Amino acid sequence: MLTYVTTNPGKIREAESYLPDESIDRLAYDYTEIQSDDLGPIAAHGAREAHRHAGEPVVVDDAGLFIEGLGGFPGPYSSYVENTLGVEGVWEVASELEDRRAAFRCVLAYCDGEGFAATPDPIDREDRVVAAAAGPDDDADRAALPVKLFEGYVPGTIVSPRGDGGFGYDPIFEHDGTTFAEMDTERKNAVSHRGRALAKFAEWFAQR
């Protein structure tokens, strides 16, 4: 069994086609999101906390929108910014920029309370799929549970909102001429940050 931990139903919808239904539970547990300029430590910390809470193998999903012209902002602060400025507000800020290139990133962190075989997985820079055991992310976790990370990345452009599918920043994120909110789940999954991370995770999970 595997428990997919998120408060966001949109993430579950996207994860479903990668993970066999009989083997997955969903848990809307709001784990602590530590402050970091990197998604990896946030996800790793969350996975350890969620595993301690659930007592079962868990995967957590941490994602963010990184806008080039804003130095990567909102990045790990994407959730806070969506709740304060809002998606329209982010578009308004971005519309003033010359460089509206952006990327979505997603890090899946898996923790089952046990270790992993030390596999020297290569890290592909383009689609930084980190399939190596994550190191400790803070002092409290130094002697803590091993976590395995899988990262996915997709480039795009920030545009005026279009479409009503997806969730979050999808209406303002255009990839190959189409916003993520104009795509159905299958089409978004085929190119998205989460789809890429999920594909790597599902392959590893099935073979481990």
Binding site for ligand ITT (CB under 6 A): 6-8, 11, 61-65, 78-79, 82, 104, 166-170, 180, 192, 194
User: Least Å distance between CB 25 and ligand ITT?
Assistant: 15
User: Least Å distance between CB 80 and ligand ITT?
Assistant: 8
Selected from 79, 85, 121, 159, the binder of Na ion by CB under 5 A is 79
Out of Na ion, ligand ITT, none, what residue 169 binds, judged by CB under 5 to 8 A for its kind, is ligand ITT
Our CB check for Na ion shows the closer of 36 and 79 to be 79
Our CB check for ligand ITT shows the closer of 82 and 121 to be 82
Out of Na ion, ligand ITT, none, what residue 131 binds, judged by CB under 5 to 8 A for its kind, is none
* Side-chain-side CA neighbours of residue 54 (13 Å): 28
Query: What's the one-letter identity of residue 138?
Result: D
Residues 6+ apart with CB under 8 A from 208: 116
Residues marked active site are found at 62
- 3-class DSSP state for residue 85? coil
Label residues 63-101 b or e (16+ Cβ within 10 Å = b).
Answer: bbbbbbbbebbbbbbbbebbeeeebeebbebbeeeeebe
HEC profile of 103-136:
EEEEEEEEECCCCCCCCCCCCCCCCCCCCCEECC
Out of Na ion, ligand ITT, none, what residue 167 binds, judged by CB under 5 to 8 A for its kind, is ligand ITT
Our CB check for ligand ITT shows the closer of 72 and 121 to be 72
Our CB check for ligand ITT shows the closer of 62 and 137 to be 62
Beta partners for 148? 110, 133
Residue 84 backbone zone (phi > 0: left; psi -120 to 50: alpha; other: beta): alpha
- Do 26 and 81 meet the contact criterion of CB atoms below 8 Å apart? no
User: Least Å distance between CB 118 and Na ion?
Assistant: 30
User: Least Å distance between CB 170 and ligand ITT?
Assistant: 4
Q: Applying CB under 5 A, which residues contact Na ion?
A: 79
